[in-house]
Structure 1
Amino acid sequence: MVVGALPFDPAAPAALTVPESVTRSAGAWVPHPDAPQLSADALRVHVTGYVPSAEEHLARIGRLLHRVDDGELDKVVAARAVLLEADAPISRTALLARLVAGDTAGNGFTVDLSPAGGRYAGRALVGASPETLVRRRGRRVECRPLAGTAARTPGAAQSGGPEQPGGAGDPAARALLNSGKNLREHAFVVDWIRGALAPLCSGLDVPPTPTLLSTPHLWHLGTEISGTLADPSTSALDLALALHPTPAVCGTPTDRALHAIRETEEPRGFYAGAVGWCDDDGDGEWVVAIRCAELSPDRRSALAHAGGGIVAGSRADAELAETDAKLRTLRRALGA
């Protein structure tokens, strides 16, 4: 088996490991009863800044919108990060437990980034992603791309389960389902994944319209895509490499969007990359590395990113608010 993380930028080094042993357990992961806990009495975390500032992020979105309006890009994802400092080491197991408890529908992960070398020695990535990049079981392939996001209406945040076709009566959900901008953003992602998977599959099932998926604080547009592999030797890692980065985290056309992100942003590292595993049968699962934080080697600081898709009709203030809403997941988990 190979386990670990792929970086956002395909030109950067990955953090993949072949473990000496593997333990599988049935059911959802739970921390050991004696594992460290995140307690406000024992750990205080505070925000020390944002990269970039809100003002600079708005300016960057404005420049990217010009490139969209000029026809250079159909979509590009603009991201920013929050810097967090703690007065004691942050246990990655405790943070993972807090994130999984806050969103039981998410895929929890913690990854040692040391295999990527350089500045990543001793660093760790911890998160709970709502987005499945690709899952392979035998010849069956499944993806669940998310694109298009809205904050849940206060008071409606805990109503209903993760899959809500009608939005559980939340006006924010109904507005998202009827948002031309968000539907266009989502369609770019689904069409791109269809094109990437078609040469690898003998058949694909792609629903014509997205459905709503909820986390405790957000609504997302999501589409459940499934298919049958044409060549059974194509592994889950092969599929992850063929699909990453999707327009959900990068943009389209991919090469132009990736170039624009490299020009505009600080390096994303493993945020918006992929985390997962692949066994010697080729089976495996890879999730998109969102709703995550990179912990420093001494575990006293964390860096958490969030992004939003820029398409024709995007508003800079709404995109800034979207990143704030997404960053709230990690801030709340750490009590920051």
Structure 2
Amino acid sequence: MPAGLSFLLSNTEFNARGSGVRASFGTVDQARDALASGAVDFVGGALGFDTDGLASLIAPEHVDFTAALRPAPTVDPMVADMLVTPDAVHRERVVAAIAAIDAGEVEKVVIARSLDARLSAPATPEELLARFAATAGGATIFGADLSAAPGHAGAWLIGASPELLLRKRGATVQCIPYAGSAPKFDAAGRPVAGAAESLRRSEKDLREHAYVVDYLRELLAPLCDEIVVPDRPQTIATSHVWHLATPITGTLTDPSVTSLDLAARLSPTPAVCGTPTAAAARIIGEIEGTRDFYAGTAGWCDASGDGEWVVSIRCLELDASRTRVRAWAGGGIVAGSDPDAEVAETTAKFQTVLSALGG
């Protein structure tokens, strides 16, 4: 799409829409060097789950910070057929993850399942973005052309992330990690009574959440003069899921540290990977296989280093034919996790993508 949309990030506070492709970069280092040299003044796109691996970062020909994303007027069904990792298979994966935790290999690991769908007719990135905007409530809608990444020519990453990885403005950096969650509705679509209060009191979920907060504080501490972290998380609702969330604010010692630098440093957090990071990533690879762009980060960075990045969850990858999509849903596994509850949690998290696809 050389003259059309190449990148988008839109929420209730901010919009950034890139059009055309002035330059593209397949690694963080390439994009960082181009920004530092003044060759480009803005990059937007996605970093893979392994930030040292896949990346697709675009310097658009034009960036519009004013045009809000228009939701789709209707969201008709568009799925011809669909295949989801079976409940029993995902349950076995969770059991394997718990065994690794019990063996002392890892403290937390996030295990995901996938959904593959064939669309009844080709869909454009703009159409899918508008559908997410119509169905995903106050989430951040994001879209990134993945063509700069090897093997992803013509593909797009599109979704509605509830989770801000970081926002940088001048010397101020903000993170709002999500970890620990509960479905808002049961299998029959009825609200789960007391779900938010149960989540607030859940020792398992509070422990899972603390891993993420501690991780971010530890990585930000060497870069900041001050970090403010509340004592307890909040409960925040998306369209289908309750989450524990903690707003973190830091003051950078060196404001020239860019949002791209921070995104590469902080992603993936324990909210989508686990802890220790290397051990959790290894277990994910053994149990799931390669994640590519799922559970990485999508966002932008300008010439001043400011920018905004979200965690790439509640998303799908649209292939070059525009007729097939793959989506994912995961949950954090810690000691004491209930395999059946974890299956239910991923089912609830799939609803963001399924709603955008028309049910």
TM-score normalised to the size of structure 2? Answer: 0.84
Q: Check conservation: 1:76, 1:252, Cα contact below 8 A.
A: yes
Instruction: Return the offset for 1:110.
Output: 1.1
Task: Flag structure 1 segments of 5+ consecutive residues without an equivalent.
Answer: 160-168
Task: Work out whether 1:110 is the aligned partner of 2:143.
Answer: yes
For 1:286, what is the secondary structure of its paired residue? strand
Instruction: Return the offset for 1:264.
Output: 1.3
Instruction: Return the offset for 1:300.
Output: 0.9
Task: Work out whether 1:20 is the aligned partner of 2:61.
Answer: yes
- Give 1:75-90 correspondences, 5 Å limit: 75-90=108-123
Q: Which amino acid aligns with 2:239?
A: P
Judging changes above 3 Å, is the alpha-carbon distance between structure 1 residues 180 and 277 closer, same or farther for their aligned structure 2 residues?
A: same
Task: Work out whether 1:58 is the aligned partner of 2:91.
Answer: yes
What is the CA–CA distance in structure 2 between the aligned matches of 1:192 and 1:224, rounded to whole Å? 14
Instruction: State the Cα RMSD in Å.
Output: 2.0
- Per-residue CA deviations over 1:175-231 (Å, capped at 9, x if unaligned) read 111111111000010011110100111100001100011112110000000010011
Tell me which residue corresponds to 1:93.
Answer: 126
Instruction: Return the offset for 1:44.
Output: 3.1
Tell me which residue corresponds to 2:78.
Answer: 44
Instruction: Return the offset for 1:101.
Output: 2.4
For 2:62, what is the secondary structure of its paired residue? coil
Judging changes above 3 Å, is the alpha-carbon distance between structure 1 residues 266 and 226 closer, same or farther for their aligned structure 2 residues?
A: same
Judging changes above 3 Å, is the alpha-carbon distance between structure 1 residues 44 and 18 closer, same or farther for their aligned structure 2 residues?
A: closer
What is the CA–CA distance in structure 2 between the aligned matches of 1:114 and 1:211, rounded to whole Å? 38
For 2:64, what is the secondary structure of its paired residue? coil
Instruction: Return the offset for 1:59.
Output: 1.2
Q: Check conservation: 1:37, 1:94, Cα contact below 8 A.
A: no
- Per-residue CA deviations over 1:290-314 (Å, capped at 9, x if unaligned) read 1111011111111010100000110
Instruction: Return the offset for 1:21.
Output: 2.0
Q: Which amino acid aligns with 1:149?
A: S
What is the CA–CA distance in structure 1 between the aligned matches of 2:131 and 2:203, rounded to whole Å? 35
What is the CA–CA distance in structure 1 between the aligned matches of 2:74 and 2:120, rounded to whole Å? 12
Tell me which residue corresponds to 1:130.
Answer: 162
Instruction: Return the offset for 1:96.
Output: 1.3
Segment of structure 1 superposing worse, 251-260 or 99-108: 99-108
Tell me which residue corresponds to 1:323.
Answer: 346
> Identical aligned pairs, as a percentage?
49
Q: Check conservation: 2:54, 2:292, Cα contact below 8 A.
A: no
What is the CA–CA distance in structure 1 between the aligned matches of 2:229 and 2:332, rounded to whole Å? 21
Judging changes above 3 Å, is the alpha-carbon distance between structure 1 residues 37 and 270 closer, same or farther for their aligned structure 2 residues?
A: farther
Q: Check conservation: 2:137, 2:239, Cα contact below 8 A.
A: no
Tell me which residue corresponds to 1:178.
Answer: 201
Instruction: Return the offset for 1:329.
Output: 1.3
Instruction: Return the offset for 1:18.
Output: 1.5
Task: Work out whether 1:332 is the aligned partner of 2:350.
Answer: no
Tell me which residue corresponds to 1:164.
Answer: none
Task: Work out whether 1:6 is the aligned partner of 2:29.
Answer: no
Tell me which residue corresponds to 1:263.
Answer: 286
Task: Work out whether 1:229 is the aligned partner of 2:263.
Answer: no
For 2:160, what is the secondary structure of its paired residue? strand
What is the CA–CA distance in structure 1 between the aligned matches of 2:228 and 2:81, rounded to whole Å? 44
TM-score normalised to the size of structure 1? Answer: 0.90
- Give 1:134-173 correspondences, 5 Å limit: 134-153=166-185, 170-173=193-196
Task: Flag structure 2 segments of 5+ consecutive residues without an equivalent.
Answer: 1-41
Judging changes above 3 Å, is the alpha-carbon distance between structure 1 residues 102 and 307 closer, same or farther for their aligned structure 2 residues?
A: same
For these two proteins, the number of residue pairs brought into alignment is 317
